[in-house]
Structure 1
Amino acid sequence: MADARRALLAEAGGSGGKGSTVAGTGMDRAGRIAAYGAAVALTPYVLIKVSWVIGSLLGLLPVGAGFGLAGWVVLNTVTIGMAATGIGLALALVRPWGLRIPAVPLAFCAWVGAGFLVAILPFALFSGVMEEPRSPPRATGRGPALPCPGGRRRWSSSASWAWAPAWRSRSPPTSYAAGLMRSPGGSGTPPPLPVPARLRRGRRSRARRSDLSGATGRRAERPGSYGRRRGTPRGALLGAVLGCWALAGALATAAITGGRPAGLRRGPVMAVGWLGSGALFAWSGWKVPVTLYVTMSAPADVAVPEHLALAGLLHGTAVASGAAMARMLVRATHANKVFIKDR
């Protein structure tokens, strides 16, 4: 395998005369700069993550919100391994010792890494201009809280109480004072304001939910609140980006394997197919263990999926689809090489 790669590099750099040699040298120089730049860019990330792990183990740094010590160490250790793999991959592509590594692990790491990072470049581009609240604002009675879930309900409660000063101003002061004196028990407490029956039922329901949450030690939530709480603008944008990549990858794979239209170049279509399949495989493969961890540990600030079996089926199907698309692309590439060689 290493001899074949050396022969391929020599053929790409030495055949075709002086123009091909110059072009090959320029591409080789650009590839080396990109590889070293990627390794240098990832190094601070690895150092920061290592300091987090060591500091949390020694008690010098706090553990991330919603995590225990073990979960925090495992999460950062996994990301350290991923970043170290990226650094090793970048250096293996440009250093002589990389020729001794089999091509399959290198291609797999490049495929997964591109699916993780390159596929979300549109998300990174547009998410910076999207404003997202850090946490749902609480209703304080000062005004409506429409941005948060249930904002219309809180706004209607505030609107229901808005007529209380008007009701009080329309009542003569003498009659109001007489009402105070006629209060049950003569305690002098003001009589309750007239509250609509719908609002009274809502207050009793909230009180029951508060009692339930206090008894169970967890926040009581209505069915379906997980989807609404996760429906943030950035979450929707990320889902849309990954969905578009999955669709584009499927179309590109179908075009490559079924005979692409004459107007399409093979290189860009193949690149879209690899990125789409890599995004499906990498992101869903990452979400499977994360979902299992969240389900078993139940962190305080992380919501558990309502339908765990459905989430597992969705991510498992995405992983299998990404792997199947990659296999089809590999077969199509091999068939194209054989066709060119026979010609």
Structure 2
Amino acid sequence: MAMRFPKNALVALTVAACLPYLALKLLWLSGGTPGIPRDSPLHTAGSTLWVLNALTVLMDTVVVLLALALARPWGRRLPAPLLALPLWGASGLLGPIALGFPVQALYHALSGAAPQRGSGNGSGALLEDWVWSLVYSGFTVQGLALGTLFALYVRERWGPLLGSRPARPVPLGPAWRAAGAAGCAGALGIGAVRAVEALGLWSADPADHGADSRIVDGCFALFALLAVAGTVRLLRGAGRTRLWVPLAAVWSGSGTLACWGGWLLLGAFSGSGQVLGQRTDGLLNLLHGTQAAAGLLLAAVAAHAVRHRSATPAAAPSGAPPAAERQTRSR
């Protein structure tokens, strides 16, 4: 009972954070225009944006289902991959928002500067200000609540494995070594580009290079670094660090790289990104593709490492030899 109450409260919080967004999207899908200014380019977006809105409704509905699965007994019986893939995607998409949006809000509160709002490919604003605040506040709460539920879930289901301290490296064949090297190189390259943009030294999109964009770039650079550091630590052995630390780093970092890179590519190739003011030239598409590929490669390498770790005996406490070695010494 002690654990059920916080879980139920977190589920209720997640659902409450999803409802305004879902209601707004359903109104738009049915032809309503609340929150859309009269001169917004969204009025002429056509069927492509309708499909994109339907997709985001499905994605937010999945967040509700995931919250229920993480808190209910039947969720413990689900196959791990069935939960892992959508949770990885949700954490990748929501993580940068949960980190970046509060930083942006704090910056505007301290500086008094007006937030940057999208203007699409026309002169009018895409959405009214209250829509941005409502949507991104909801995403932030979703990310924090769902992340807490996930942490409680994995502690209960895989606590011994995640709490272990494996000291030996994961054996990798040539293909896995190549995948890990390519993933790390791509992530470091994307992280360097994002860091340069965050510092204001250069931007792939000079038209979108204000403070809000630079904060977002800084978040992406951080997640890229987490992905690489987590992968390297996971493969080499956690040492004195428990396994969940590098795993959490590569989980969040690779998810952010892959899912946001894929989402931006979807916007570019579907045409919806142009309506929303997204540049879709060759350089940016190359960056987004590299970002998505790096995230997928690092996620695959991390999954391989976790399968190896779960197939071997749990590591002994830090400073103590493994059980087999202790038995050999006693003989």
Matched, 1:66 2:41: yes
Aligned to 1:304: 279
Work out which of the two has the higher radius of gyration on C-alpha atoms and give 1 or 2: 1
Alpha-carbon distance between aligned partners in 1 of 2:251 and 2:103, rounded to the nearest angstrom = 23
The question of whether the paired residues in 2 share the 8 Å contact of 1:115 and 1:283 is answered with: yes
TM-score using structure 2 length = 0.59
Amino acid at match of 1:331: H
Q: What's 2:243 paired with?
A: 266
- What's the counterpart of residue 296 of structure 2? 323
2:214 paired with 1:241: no
1:291 aligns to 2:264 (yes or no): no
Quick one: distance in 1 between partners of 2:40 and 2:255?
Answer: 30
Given the superposition, is the C-alpha separation of residues 304 and 270 from structure 1 closer, same or farther in structure 2, using an over 3 Å criterion? closer
AA at the equivalent of 1:79: T
8 Å CA contact 2:91, 2:255 repeated in 1: yes
Measured after TM superposition, the shift of residue 341 of structure 1 is 6.0
Distance 1:52 1:340, change over 3 A: same
RMSD: 3.3
**What CA deviation, in whole Å up to 9, does each residue of 1:91-121 have, x standing for no partner?**
1223355456543131111011011112332
Structure 1 contact 246–277 (Cα < 8 Å) conserved: yes
Aligned residue for 2:104?
127
- With 61-70 and 271-280 compared, the bigger mean Cα shift is at 61-70
**Would you say the 8 A contact 1:116–1:282 is kept in 2?**
yes
Give distance in 2, aligned partners of 1:81 and 1:280.
21
Among 275, 294, 316, the alignment partner of 2:252 is: 275
Find the aligned partners of 2:102 and 2:273 in 1 and give their Cα distance: 33
Corresponding residue for residue 339 of structure 1? 312
Query: Cα distance 1:340–1:26, how it changes in 2: closer, same or farther (>3 A)?
Result: farther
- CA distance change for structure 1 residues 135 and 127 in 2, over 3 Å: closer, same or farther? closer
**1:147-296 correspondence to structure 2 within 5 Å:** 227-260=205-238, 262-294=239-271
Alignment of structure 1 residues 71-110 onto 2, 5 Å: 71-98=48-75, 101-110=78-87
Q: Matched residues in 1 for 2:296 and 2:68: separation?
A: 26
Please give the alpha-carbon distance, in whole angstroms, between the structure 2 residues aligned to 1:251 and 1:42.
Answer: 32
Q: What's the CA shift for 1:248? A: 1.4
Query: CA shift at 1:124, angstroms?
Result: 1.3
Q: Which residue in the other structure is 1:54 paired with?
A: 30
- Are residues 1:31 and 2:4 paired? no
Task: Note the C-alpha offset of 1:337.
Answer: 1.9
In 2, Cα distance between equivalents of 1:134 and 1:125? 14
Once residues 83 and 135 of structure 1 are traced to their aligned partners in structure 2, the CA distance between those partners, rounded to angstroms, is 23
Aligned AA for 1:42?
A: C
Give the CA deviation at 1:282.
Answer: 1.1
CA contact (8 A) 2:261 2:291 kept: yes
Task: Give the secondary-structure state (helix, strand or coil) at the position aligned to 1:228.
Answer: coil
- The match for 1:204 is none
Distance 1:256 1:311 in 2: 31
Q: Decide whether aligned partners of structure 1 residues 228 and 268 sit closer, same or farther in structure 2, where only a CA change above 3 A counts.
A: same
Asked if 1:117 is matched to 2:94, the reply is yes
Corresponding residue to 1:314 among 287, 290, 298? 287
TM-score (norm 1): 0.57
Name structure 1 gaps, 5 residues minimum: 1-24, 137-223
* Structure 1 residues 304 and 330, CA gap change in structure 2 (3 angstroms): closer
C-alpha contact 1:252 1:272 (8 A) present in aligned 2? yes
| Paired residues of 2:268 and 2:274 also in contact (CA < 8 A) | no
Letter in 2 for 1:271: A
CA distance 1:253–1:297, shift in 2 (3 Å):
closer
> Which secondary structure state, in structure 1, belongs to the residue aligned with residue 205 of structure 2?
helix
Greater relative contact order (CA < 8 Å, ≥ 6 in sequence): 2
| Whole-angstrom distance in 1 between the partners of 2:294 and 2:80 | 23
Identity fraction in percent? 25
Which whole-Å CA distance do the structure 2 matches of 1:244 and 1:333 have between them? 23
Asked whether the equivalents of residues 277 and 323 of structure 1 are also in contact (C-alpha less than 8 Å), the reply is yes
Give distance in 2, aligned partners of 1:63 and 1:53: 17
Is the 8 Å Cα contact of residues 39 and 87 (structure 1) preserved in structure 2?
Answer: yes
In 2 relative to 1, CA 62–75 (structure 1 residues): closer, same or farther, beyond 3 Å? farther
How many residues are paired up?
A: 226
SS of residue paired to 2:215:
helix
